[in-house]
Amino acid sequence: MDSETNTVGFSVKPPAAWELYAYGFARFLVNFVNRIAWRVKVVGIEKLPPGPFIVAPVHRSNLDTLLVASLTKRRLRYMGKDGVWKYWLSGAILSALGGFPVHRGMADREAMRRCNLVLAGGEPLVLFPEGTRKSGPLVEGLFEGAAYIAMKGGVPIVPVGIGGSERAWGKSRKFPRFTKVILLVGDPIYPEVTNAKGRVPRSALNKLSSELSMSLQSLFDQAQAALGLLEPR
C-alpha cells in the first residue's frame, strides 16, 4: 500500500477542485440552515490558526457536527462510524462535508493513522473529545485521542464551546427545537514536542488532556451563560 494513502483512498495530497466545490456547496446549505433555524453565532473565529489543527468541541447534540461547519470556510474533516455510510443520504451528506468512515472494531492505530493523514494533508480535523453525546453542565471523561493525535502530529488543538445545542436537540428530545446556538472558539493549545523517537510521554499527554478539559469547561460555561442557560455545578 502506498504510504501516502490509507485503506479508503485518503491521500496527503491537496483535495481536488471538485472536492472543494462539493464541500463549499454542502457547507453553504448547512450554514444557511444553521443561521435560519438556530441563529448560530460564532465568537472568536480569528483564533483559528493557519495550517492543520484539531477542532475539539463539546458534544451535547446530534446537531453539533453540522454546527461546527459554520466555524470556517476551510474544509473540515470528520471521523465517523462506518454505519452512517450504510444509508445513502446520510453518507452522501457527511462525505460532502468532509467526513470519513472508521469501521467498528478497527484497531485504534488505524483510526489514528487516518487522522494523521488528514493533518499531514494540511486540513483541519474535527474530533469530539467526549467521544459521544453527553448531557448536563460538566465536561468530563475526555478521551485522550485528540491530545495524542495533536502531539503525534505536532498540531494545535482548538477547543470550542457550543452553547444551546442541547436545548436545540439534546438526548432527551425526539425532534429539534429552533433556538439560538453560540459557538465560542478558544485559544489554540499547542502540544509539547514528542521525543526523538516520536514517543508521546505520558506526563505530557496528561497535561495536554487536562488543559483541554479545563478550557472546554470554561468555554462551555461562557457559551451557556451568554444564552442564560448556565446550570449550577
For the stretch 129-184, pLDDT in tens is 998 899 999 999 999 989 999 999 999 999 999 999 999 999 888 999 999 999 99
Cell 510521554 sits on residue:
201
pLDDT at 92: 80
Give the confidence band of 81 by pLDDT, cuts at 50, 70, 90: confident
Percent of the chain clearing pLDDT 90 (strictly above) = 61
pLDDT at 9: 46
| Mean pLDDT for the stretch of residues 80-102 | 79
Tell me which architecture the domain covering 17-226 has in CATH. Answer: 3-Layer(aba) Sandwich (3.40)
pLDDT at 108: 67
User: Are 118 and 10 in contact, with CB atoms under 8 Å apart?
Assistant: yes
Give the confidence band of 66 by pLDDT, cuts at 50, 70, 90: very high
Q: What angle do CA 206, 209, 213 make, to 5 degrees?
A: 135
Count of other CB atoms within 10 angstroms of residue 181: 26
Reported pTM: 0.89
Closest CA to 102 of 162, 145, 55: 145
**In this predicted model, what pLDDT tens digit does every residue of 82-91 receive, in sequence order?**
777 888 877 8
Q: Is 179 exposed, middle or buried (0-12, 13-18, 19+ CB in 10 A)?
A: middle
Cell of 200: 508521546
Least confident range from 104-108, 133-137, 202-206: namely 104-108
In this predicted structure, the answer to whether residue 3 has a pLDDT above a threshold of 50 is no
What secondary structure letter does DSSP report for 8?
T
In this predicted structure, the answer to whether residue 1 has a pLDDT above a threshold of 70 is no
In this predicted structure, the answer to whether residue 104 has a pLDDT above a threshold of 80 is no
**In this predicted model, what pLDDT tens digit does every residue of 13-43 receive, in sequence order?**
678 888 888 899 989 999 999 999 999 999 9
Least confident range from 137-146, 189-198, 203-212: namely 189-198
pLDDT at 107: 53
Q: Is 85 left (phi over 0), alpha (psi -120 to 50) or beta?
A: alpha
Residue that wins the pLDDT comparison between 13 and 228: 228
In this predicted structure, the answer to whether residue 216 has a pLDDT above a threshold of 70 is yes
- Biggest CA–CA distance in the chain, Å, is 53
- Measured CA to CA, the distance from residue 35 to residue 156 in angstroms comes to 28
- Report helix, strand or coil for 156: coil
